[in-house]
Amino acid sequence: MIDRLTENLLQRSFTPLVREGRLEIGLPWGRTLCFGDGGLPQARLRFTDRRALWAVMRDPDLNFGEMFMQQRLCVEQGSIYDVLELLLRGARDVPVSASVRLLDSWRMRLKPLLQHNLRGRSRANVAHHYDLDDRLYALFLDAERQYSCAYFEQGDESLEQAQRAKMRHIAAKLLVDPGHSVLDIGCGWGGLSRYLAEVAQAGHVTGITLSQEQFAGARGRAGASPAADRLEYRLQDYRDTRGRFDRIVSVGMFEHVGTRFHDAFFRQCKELLADDGVMLLHFIGNSDVPDFNNPWIERYIFPGGHIPSMSEFTPAIERAGLVVTDIEVLRLHYARTLRLWRERFLARRDEAARLYDERFCRMWEFYLSMSETAFRYQDIAIFQVQLARRQEAVPLTRSYVEQRSQALRAREAGPGAQQPGAGPGATPALRPRRTTVPAAG
C-alpha cells in the first residue's frame, strides 16, 4: 500500500517535469516508472533502498546529491547531467508544492546566519574549496587555473581561447592604461593580474586572496613573469586592504561576501578607488527575486556562498556613493565553460580518484553537472558591473570596449609577446531556483 502511494506521488511530481526526452526511475521494490515523450536525452536512475527514495522526496535540494554521492541513487543509463537536464529544463513552469515552499521559507530565514562571513569564517570557507590539492584543478582548468566564467565571442572557442577573451574583455572595460595601479580582489592563481601587467601594461598590480594554495601559486608564477617587478600578491582580506588604486577588479569573489556584508564591501571599494578610478565586478548573479544558497552546495562545495540578485546588491552600491556606469549580463557563457570543465574532469576522473576517492569524484561530477544545468535552464547568469566615483570616468558609449579589445589582441600577438596567464579565482556557487532537484548554487 505504501509503495503504491509512493508511486502515485512520484507520478504527480515527475510527469510535469519530464515532458521531452525519457527518464526511467527504478524503484527499490522492482518496479520502473517512465516519464517523457521518448525523445532525447534518455537516462535511467535507480534507488537502491526506500529510505533513499523518501529522502529525495522529502528534501530534493539537499538529498538528491547526497544519495548520488552515497551510490544509493545510481545512474544506469546516461549520466547524472542527463538526469538533471531532463528534470530542470522544464522546471520553471511547474508550480512549487506547499511542502517545498515551507522548506524554502525556513531556509530563507537561515540565510543571514549561513552568510555571517566575518574574517575568520571567510578564511575557513575559502579553505574548504580553494585549498584542495592543486593537482585537482590542473585536471580540468586551463593551464593558468582560471576558475571563473570564460567569454565566448563566437561560441566554438577552446577553453584557453575563451578564457583569454574574458581577460581581454575585462581589461578593456577597466580602461587600464600604462602606469595605472590595479587592485585584484580575489586574485586566485594570478592569471588576470599577470595579464593586466604583461599585456595591458599596468604600472603595478596588487592581488589579494584568502586561499593559501592560490597565494602560493600566484607568487610562484609571478616570479617567471616578465612583469614580475610590477606584480604583488598578499594573503589578505579585502577589509584589511589599504591604499588608493586607479583600477579595481574582482572576478568571482563577490559571491562569497554575503548579503550582510555588501555595504562593507562597497564602502571599502569606494575608499580604495581613486577619484577618477574605474572598477569592474564580475560575479554569478540571480536574475530572479532573492533566494538562498542551494543546501547541497552550501554543505559540500561553497559554505557561506550566495548568488545575489540585482535588488540585493544595487542598494548597497547606492549607499556607498558609487556610480553604476554599466551592467552587462553574460548569458550561457558559464554553461559553456562548465561543460568544458566537466568533460575535462570526466576524461581524467581516474586521476581525481587517486588524489581523493570515488565519493569525492561523484561529488565533483554532481557539482559540475548541476552548475551547468543551473546556468543553462535556471535564472542564473554572470553580471559584470562597472563602477566609478564619477560618471565622467567612463566614455559616453561602449565603443571603447571593442577598440581597446582590438588593441589588446594586437599586443597579445605582437613580436615576442608572451601568452598571458589566465586565472582569477572564483567558483560557481550556484543554485537553481525552487525545483524538485538541486542545481548549482
- pLDDT, tens digit, for every residue of 229-261? 999 999 999 999 999 999 999 999 999 999 999
**What whole-number distance in Å separates Cα of residue 110 and Cα of residue 268?**
26
Cis amide linkage into residue 95, ω under 30° from 0: no
DSSP state of 309: B
pLDDT exceeds cutoff 80 at 1: no
Q: Are 18 and 87 in contact (CB under 8 A)?
A: yes
For the structural domain made of 122-413, what CATH number should be given?
3.40.50.150
DSSP line for 231-295: EEEEE--GGG--S-EEEEEEES-GGGT-GGGHHHHHHHHHHHEEEEEEEEEEEEEESSS-----H
Residue 58 has a CB neighbour count (10 Å cut-off) of 11
Residue 343 has pLDDT above 50, yes or no: yes
* pLDDT tens track for 218-235: 999 999 999 999 999 999
**pLDDT, tens digit (0-9, with 9 covering 90-100), for 414-434:** 654 444 443 333 333 323 333
155-214 pLDDT tens trace: 899 999 999 999 999 999 999 999 999 999 999 999 999 999 999 999 999 999 999 999
pLDDT digits (tens, 9 = 90+) for 48-87: 999 999 999 999 999 999 999 999 999 999 999 999 999 9
Cell of 128: 574548504
Q: Which helix (H) or strand (E) holds 388?
A: strand 380-388
CATH number of 2-93: 3.30.1050
Q: Of 379, 340, 345, nearest to 362 (Cα)? A: 345
Packing angle, helices 358-377 and 80-88, rounded to 10:
30
pLDDT value of residue 107: 78
99-114 pLDDT, tens digit per residue, is 677 777 767 777 777 7
pTM for the full model? 0.90
| Distance from C-alpha of 126 to C-alpha of 304, rounded to nearest angstrom | 9
Question: Which residues are paired to 425 by β-bridges?
Answer: 147
Domain segments of the chain: what residues?
Answer: 2-93, 122-413
Q: Which three cell numbers stand for residue 106?
A: 525556513
pLDDT digits (tens, 9 = 90+) for 268-321: 999 999 999 999 999 999 988 888 788 999 999 999 899 999 999 999 999 999
SS3 41: coil
The reply to whether domains 2-93 and 122-413 share a CATH topology is no
